[in-house]
Amino acid sequence: MRLWRRFRIETRIVYWADTSFVMEHRCIMSGKGDTETVAAMALMRGGIYDRKGRSFIAVDRLFGLLGVTQSTPPLTDDVRAFLDAEEALKQAL
């Protein structure tokens, strides 16, 4: 990616369990003609925190409130590696 070059970010939820979800962010750049290139990709784990209840909201409950009925996608190798690395980092701190 070059400085000042335009790109777009695509975000999708790729996995969820209990009170957290994993999102994939992809930076897409236009190439020559009609081609596009994924210039960067990142995974992020997050959740929605209820300050009043002092806890994270269960993803199934959140999706239910939003009318989402999709079931959890299968855990892929790259998401498993990401979650394992995150857990190892927590343990090291």
* 2-56 pLDDT per residue, tens: 788 889 999 999 999 999 999 999 999 988 888 999 999 999 999 999 999 999 9
pTM equals 0.80
Distance CA 7, CA 39 (A): 9
> Domain ranges in the chain?
8-92
pLDDT in tens, 43-56: 999 999 999 999 99
Cβ atoms of residues 21 and 59 within 8 Å? yes
